[in-house]
Amino acid sequence: MEEQYKPSKYIGDYLDYLKYERALSENTISSYRYDLKSFDLYFNKEVLNLTYDDISKYLDSIKGLNSRSVAHHITVLTSFYGFLFDEKIINNNPTDNLKNAKIAKKLPVYLTEEEVNKLLDLKLITPYDYRNKAMLELLYATGLRISELVNLKINDINFNECYVRVFGKGKKERIVPIADVALKYLSIYINEYRNKILNGTISDYLFISNNLKNISRQGFFKILKKEVDRVGIKKNVSPHVLRHSFATHLLSHGANLRIIQELLGHEDISTTEIYAHLVNEKLKKDYQYHPRNKKGE
């Protein structure tokens, strides 16, 4: 009897990231899982130890597939190893120099300001409602990654100076200002409702789950999905979509791209430039209404 395949722990972590942080569809995750299983089975060693040459050898072995399938494998592998590198699990990304048939980057999904306002208009009754309101307001006000949000400690919030201290990828520290509305609901949650959720227990974490630990990525994802469904937003909204919305709205209101890079904790400005493309696409779309543009007739 054939031994059942057990994926690398890191592949499992990556697929969880796609599900709970990026909110990709089950079909997309299944396609990534399928390609990663094929890749994992090809080698008799841990995926962390594979080199550029190993990965090139694997890609040579699948050249018989159609070009779209090969391109999908490349996309999956560069995304997977990009995740491992960003999470500081590996120090060097072996897919950096892959001669990829250039696949156009998809522009990220973001919410309009009207959609964000609908999402943040929660009905506040229970302590958990106030916690959820504070989390969502803070996420949109700061553009934090969900992993950064759920690991915040109560002492990371500075109410006097109106900022949050964030430990991002690789434990790199940055200071992010907090907007007035988010500060208001953080204060209400901390001063009036957090201790009710803790029910006599002690925790340094800012956002507490109903099992008295810090809220998990999965827990936040479920809360976000419930609120998105409640207000009838049809987009596929993940925690990352709020991060994209934060950056896009700042840029469209005139913020400097370098400042947005710093607020998001991007090491490379090219990562942040995707938001300029988003704003440019919207400008192009709106420009059709110019009276001398035939498309606007």
Least confident segment among 163-167, 215-219, 220-224, 279-283: 279-283
The residues annotated as belonging to the active site are 145, 169, 240, 243, 266, 275
Query: For position 290, what pLDDT does the model report?
Result: 42
Closest to 146 in 3D by CA, of 27, 16, 10, 9: 16
Query: For position 66, what pLDDT does the model report?
Result: 74
Total-model pTM:
0.67
**Using the 8-state DSSP alphabet, how is residue 21 labeled?**
I
Largest CA distance in the chain: 72
**What domains lie within the chain, and their CATH numbers?**
9-86 (1.10.150), 113-284 (1.10.443.10)
DSSP 191-222: IIIHHHHHTT---SBSSB-TTSSBPPHHHHHH
Query: For position 4, what pLDDT does the model report?
Result: 62
d(CA 172, CA 240): 19
Closest to 246 in 3D by CA, of 148, 160, 169, 173: 148
Per-residue pLDDT tens over the stretch 116-153: 999 999 999 999 999 999 999 999 999 999 989 999 99
